[in-house]
Chain A
Amino acid sequence: MMKTIKTILLLTVVALTTAAFTLKPAAGYAVGDTISDFKLKNVDGDFLSLSDYDDAKGFIIIFTCNTCPYSVANEDRIIALNDKYEDSGYPVIAINPNNPISVPQESMEKMKIRSDEKGFNFPYLLDEGQKVYPRFGAAKTPHVYIVTKNDMKVQYIGAIDNSSRDEEAVTEKYVENAVDALLSSKKIEKTTTVAIGCSIKV
């Protein structure tokens, strides 16, 4: 009996310690990999999958969240991306990968508020149970994956542009360049980029 209690206590300590740290997730999709679809709840209450999009040519999937200042600094740019590319067949799909149990500001309720406040023109899904973001290998918010629909292949992974902290200083728009290349059947020049972001909260 004593032993069981000890084991349980030890396990609890281990679990709590693990939860307290943000560790780098195992490597996920690379450019060229085929992704599997997901089904996640949107801020409008409905569940959404990539297969729901009949007319899309592909997707701009962005892991982002309510609280990360880098995500917030990119909100207007994400709205503009959907404005520009939804009609051409590349809608934005935003996914919040954070655990709302450890960070209450990341709850579905708070996501709805943020989506309304900012007037998000794209779905904002919660990765409930945090099963989807590790598959992608998303390490931070914001973290972009561009996927083509016919083959479900990853075409681009990385940053929105080359200046996440200061929008006015942007000189290279990586995501726009990638989608433009896909739309004109050209080769994407930069298929992976990096930018500063917030670690995903487990």
Chain B
Amino acid sequence: MKKALLIFSILLIISSCKKEVSKTNAVDNSESSWQEVSSVKTVNYNELKPYLEKNNDTTYIVNFWATWCAPCIKELPYFEKIKQEYASKNVEVLLVSLDFPKQVEKKLIPFINKKQLQSEVIFLNDIDENVWIKAIDSTWSGALPATLIYNKNVRKFYEQSFDYNMLETELKTFLKP
């Protein structure tokens, strides 16, 4: 009986060890494809502007967000997913961060690495909010999150949160059948 118990314990230990090993492997695999980000492109509004008015065959989804904005973080995965799902359909996603300048190193960059964000992230650092918020869209109150979807034919601004279905439904109105 004692022997059986011992064998059982050993088996238990081995099996739990195995689990640990395979778990670590899985994490390693996903991390190896991720290129650690050490900086983020910082722009003022004039430098951001060209990203908001490209005139080509691509449809751009520009999401204004910040790491401190809870509804922004909640909807971020939907933007990441739509980028993947529509990559072959000429759709690009740009994430414009409005974090505090002092928190870029401490919060924004670690967040990008932790979430392994696939979409391009740009940090907008420009004090004259009253000028550029109105320039981006005259109806924008400045509340986050907010999203701009545009291509050379249509341009729409959304001061709201999205779930995946809402985002996909909106995007489809921009894409030619």
Chain A residues near B (Cβ < 8 Å): 20-24, 69, 73, 139-140, 143, 158-159, 162-166, 169-171, 174, 190, 193-201
Query: Would A158 and B159 count as touching, CB distance under 8 A?
Result: no
Q: Counting CB contacts under 8 A, is B161 at the interface? A: yes
Q: How far is the CB of A18 from chain B (nearest CB, A)?
A: 11
Q: Interface residues of B, CB < 8 Å — how many?
A: 23
Bits for B60-100, please: 1 = Cβ < 8 Å to A, else 0: 00000010110100000000000000000000000000101
Cβ contact of B129, chosen from A163, A190, A198, cutoff 8 A: A163
List the count of A-B residue pairs having beta carbons below 8 Å apart.
88
User: CB-CB < 8 A to B98: which residues of A?
Assistant: 165, 196
Cα A24 to Cα B145 in complex, Å, equals: 11
Query: Would B141 and A162 count as touching, CB distance under 8 A?
Result: no
Query: Would B145 and A199 count as touching, CB distance under 8 A?
Result: yes
Give the 8 A-B CB pairs with smallest separation, nearest first. A140-B143, A139-B141, A163-B127, A199-B143, A194-B142, A193-B130, A194-B133, A69-B68
Known: A22-B71, A69-B68. A197 touches B143 (CB 8 A): yes
Chain B residues near A (Cβ < 8 Å): 66, 68-69, 71, 98, 100-101, 127-130, 133-134, 140-145, 159-161, 163
Q: How far is the CB of A158 from chain B (nearest CB, A)?
A: 7
Cα A170 to Cα B130 in complex, Å, equals: 12
User: CB-CB < 8 A to B142: which residues of A?
Assistant: 139-140, 159, 194-197
In the complex, the chain B residue whose C-beta lies closest to that of A142 is: B142
Cα A158 to Cα B140 in complex, Å, equals: 12
User: CB-CB < 8 A to B140: which residues of A?
Assistant: 194
Q: How far is the CB of B43 from chain A (nearest CB, A)?
A: 15
Query: Would A196 and B144 count as touching, CB distance under 8 A?
Result: yes
Cα A195 to Cα B132 in complex, Å, equals: 9
User: CB-CB < 8 A to B66: which residues of A?
Assistant: 69
Most buried by B among A165, A196, A201: A196
